[in-house]
Structure formats: structure tokens, C-alpha cells
Amino acid sequence: MKKTEMKIIDLTLELDSLNVPVWPGELPLNKDVIKSLDRGDNVNLSSISLGAHLGTHIDSPSHFLKNQSRVGDINLSKLVGNCVVIEIMVDNNADLSIGVDKLEKYRFLFEKFSKVLFKTNNSVNGSLKKPFSSEYISLAESGALFLAQFNLDLIGWDYISIEATGASKRGAPVHKALLAKNIIILEGIDLSQAEISADANKLKFKEYNLYCLPLKINDIEAVPVRAILVER
């Protein structure tokens, strides 16, 4: 019997890329060569430093909420398993956010799936492969409050923040609404290769298996991850 090849979609941003968007104030990837075979050393040896929110990463509740769980407290079952990818496109010239009005029709999916990833204009426009721009599609506060009603483990977003630029000055309501419900936020996922077709009602979504494994750095509010989708 011929073995069927598993189709894997890598959602993870390449941190080496000069075009990977870096949030203002976040530390980019820095690599130092300690030893090099080309310099006559007997080994190649490097060190790296980077911000915890660089590239594809997860936010734990402690990112914005005091005395709440950190990365090491997250049960890995929240990060691995059946998920749904929902595609929502908006008119960039009219609205840069996705609110409850655009989410209500997908209620049946939020009731069925505990892990939900959103594919927006960000993935289609290649926003994750360009330097940072404040002109990206984000989740509106009304959308976050709506999603917080459901028993969700994780919400994934296809830009390096789920929330609009300047949200921290307004108290980061989107992050707080989700993290207060212990919903892990997966940011910086590239869904450009996730194929999705419309159903009879012209709603675009597809079921996958998600594997999102963080670096094992426990006492921290966020950490980079390697995130992949596997077709079911």
C-alpha cells in the first residue's frame, strides 16, 4: 500500500529574515559567532538573543495581567490538537479591524472548536514578510469580548499582534479580554499557504491539526514557538 504523504504547513516566521516585522521597542534577533571553523576553530559555536515577542510566539495571561499564569503554567493540550482556520477578508480602506459583526456568523465554529486561527488580509498581502507597519488587520475590542464568551483554548492571529497599534495606551482591551479567560494568544502566524474553501453559505473555514510548541522557558510572559498545521 502506498503511503500517503503528510501535508504540513509551517506557520512560523523566519527570524533570520531582514523583513520580518519587529514590534516597536522589541529586540530583533541578534546572532554572535563565538567560534568558527572558517577562523580555524575546531567547532562552529554561536549565541543568540531576541525579544520574547519576536516573530511567531504565544502570549500567556501574565503578559498583561498581574499574578496570572506564565508560559510554564500552560498545559500543552491548549497548544496541540484539532483546530479551525477561518478566513475573513476586510476592505482595508474601510476598516482595519474585525469586530463582532464579522464574527457572529461563525458562532457555530466557536462552539465546536477550542482552537481558532484567523486568516486575514495580513496573510494574503504578505504583511508578515515585510518590515513593521501599523497598517494591519487586527481584532477589535467587540470581537475579543465576543470570542471570550466561548470555551476557547487558543486564538491565533496572522500578524505579530492581535491588537491594533497604540492599544497598550488604551489598556490593551483585546489582550486582556482574552487572557482573562485563559485563552492563549498565538501571534505572528503565516497562513498564506493554508488552503480554505467556502461552504454552501459562502463561509470560508477549514479544519486542521495544530502543533504549537514553545521554547521551554517557564518563568516568562511570552515565548517564540514553532507552529505548524497538518491536514486532517
Please calculate the CA angle 194-195-197 and round it to the nearest 5 degrees: 140
Rg (CA), the chain: 18
For the cut 90, the answer to whether the pLDDT of residue 142 exceeds it is yes
When pLDDT is averaged across residues 139-145 and rounded to a whole number, the result is 97
Q: What is the pLDDT of residues 10-46, one digit of tens each?
A: 999 999 888 899 999 999 999 999 999 999 999 999 9
Q: What is the pLDDT of residues 51-74, one digit of tens each?
A: 999 999 999 999 999 999 999 999
For the cut 90, the answer to whether the pLDDT of residue 232 exceeds it is no
When pLDDT is averaged across residues 168-178 and rounded to a whole number, the result is 89
d(CA 56, CA 40): 35
Q: What is the pLDDT of residues 180-195, one digit of tens each?
A: 999 999 999 999 999 9
What pLDDT does 221 receive? 97
d(CA 29, CA 51): 7
When pLDDT is averaged across residues 166-173 and rounded to a whole number, the result is 81
For the cut 80, the answer to whether the pLDDT of residue 176 exceeds it is yes
What structural domains does the chain harbor?
Answer: 57-231 (3.50.30.50)
> Which cell numbers hold the place of 71?
508560559
For the cut 70, the answer to whether the pLDDT of residue 2 exceeds it is no
What pLDDT does 95 receive? 81
d(CA 125, CA 85): 17
Q: Which residue has the higher pLDDT, 169 or 19?
A: 19
pLDDT confidence tier of residue 93, bands split at 50, 70 and 90: low
What pLDDT does 214 receive? 96
When pLDDT is averaged across residues 108-131 and rounded to a whole number, the result is 95
Q: Which residue has the higher pLDDT, 197 or 120?
A: 120
Q: For residue 209, list its beta bridge partners.
A: 82, 230
Please calculate the CA angle 46-49-52 and round it to the nearest 5 degrees: 145
Burial of 216 (0-12, 13-18, 19+ CB in 10 A): exposed
Mean of the per-residue pLDDT values of the chain: 94
For the cut 80, the answer to whether the pLDDT of residue 140 exceeds it is yes
In the chain, what percentage of residues exceed pLDDT 90? 86
What pLDDT does 167 receive? 73
Q: For residue 119, list its beta bridge partners.
A: 87
3-class secondary structure per residue, the chain: CCCCCCCEEECCCCCCCCCCCCCCCCCCCEEEEEECHHHCCCCCEEEEECCCCCCCEEECHHHCCCCCCCHHHCCHHHCEEEEEEEECCCCCCCCCEECHHHHHHHHHHHHHCCEEEEECHHHHCCHHHCCCCCCCCEECHHHHHHHCCCCCCEEEECCCCCCCCCHHHHCCHHHHHHHCCCCEEEECCCCCCCCCCECCCCCEEEEEEEEEEECCCCCCCEEEEEEEEEEC
